[in-house]
Amino acid sequence: MNIKISADSTCDLSPALIAQYGIDITPLYIVRGEETLRDGIDIVPEEIYEYVRKTGKLCHTAAVNVSDYITFFKKQLEDHDAIIHFTISSDMSGCYQNACIAAQDFPGRVFPVDSRNLSTGIGHLVLDAAIMAAEGKLTAQEIVDALNEKKAKLDVSFVLDTLEFLKAGGRCSAVAAFGANLLGLKPSIEVKDGGMGVGKKYRGNINKCYVQYIKDRLSNRDDIDTKRIFITDSGLSEEVRAELEEVVRSCQPFEEVHHTQAGCTVSQHCGPGCMGILYYHK
């Protein structure tokens, strides 16, 4: 069976990985003032930050709509027997619901998967699906079933440098943001059961917070799958990225360490200076 693997732009995979594994991407929409733009095509995160700096206003996101999905699935099915499509958690967006509605036009050929996750947490599932599909040993439903089990083992979290974007987007109260800023706190955000919650809070220089956060999550652990880890950020220098990879490798012997930059959807909620490590537990 010739199975196509695809995902929404929220998977935050790098262009190199997308090309290597033959992934196709459906972009979410970024609403900037009166403009509706496609994530990663018409707008990139740096342009969102610039808009916020200039106007004091935040952009908003909109799900991939049913019509977009129907058009996308129809095109992919010209050359493939089936499609497995991954979306951001259904608790965070309407993408999964819209993909399911669109899939009804292609009975038995389109398999939407609610990742219950975001960013390269989705990316892990996408790459695993692509590997399974390339091996050609499983049906589309069998791949979906395997990954629906595996997604519970994902460990997805980020450290934020600022709460201003979450506050502006209504995901954090002004009081909480003020208190965190006053105390110099850098909170970690964890994905649990398809939603986002606050984890440990760090204090001080953000680069030192990154290092402590990585050590807290990876050091002295024997329950981590060391096959692959993503270090995903919303705009760090190559020097800082290299330093963070050294810390990661000093904690666990990962076979693959991938750096990716968060796309517009994650960046516009979390703001600049957001960094996370995303991996599986055994």
Give the CATH number for residue 195. Answer: 3.30.1180.10
Condensed to tens digits (0 to 9), the pLDDT of residues 188-238 reads 889 999 988 878 889 889 999 999 999 999 999 999 999 999 999 998 999
Query: Do 66 and 183 share a domain, yes or no?
Result: no
Tally of CB atoms within 10 A around 60: 14
Condensed to tens digits (0 to 9), the pLDDT of residues 64-75 reads 999 999 999 999
Q: Using the 3D structure, point to which of 104, 120, 150 is the last residue of a domain.
A: 150
Residue 118 is predicted with a pLDDT of 94
* Single-letter amino acid, residue 190: E
Q: Report the C-alpha gap between 116 and 93 in whole angstroms.
A: 10
Query: Do 11 and 140 share a domain, yes or no?
Result: yes
Query: Do 164 and 268 share a domain, yes or no?
Result: yes
Q: Report the C-alpha gap between 256 and 36 in whole angstroms.
A: 36
For residue 25, the cross-strand partners are 7
Give the CATH number for residue 19. Answer: 3.40.50.10170
Residue 163 is predicted with a pLDDT of 67
Query: Do 107 and 216 share a domain, yes or no?
Result: no
- Structural domain tally of the chain? 2
Query: Do 92 and 125 share a domain, yes or no?
Result: yes
Q: Using the 3D structure, point to which of 126, 150, 174 is the last residue of a domain.
A: 150
Residue 199 is predicted with a pLDDT of 84
Tokens of 89: 């958690």
Whole-structure pTM value: 0.93
Query: Do 194 and 253 share a domain, yes or no?
Result: yes
Query: Do 253 and 139 share a domain, yes or no?
Result: no
Query: Do 30 and 118 share a domain, yes or no?
Result: yes
Q: Using the 3D structure, point to which of 103, 133, 150 is the last residue of a domain.
A: 150
| Full domain range(s) for residue 131 | 3-150
Query: Do 176 and 203 share a domain, yes or no?
Result: yes
Query: Do 145 and 158 share a domain, yes or no?
Result: no
Query: Do 162 and 187 share a domain, yes or no?
Result: yes
Spans of the chain below 70 pLDDT: 163-184
**Beta-sheet pairing, 82-87 with 3-8:** parallel
Q: Report the C-alpha gap between 104 and 90 in whole angstroms.
A: 18
Query: Do 143 and 169 share a domain, yes or no?
Result: no
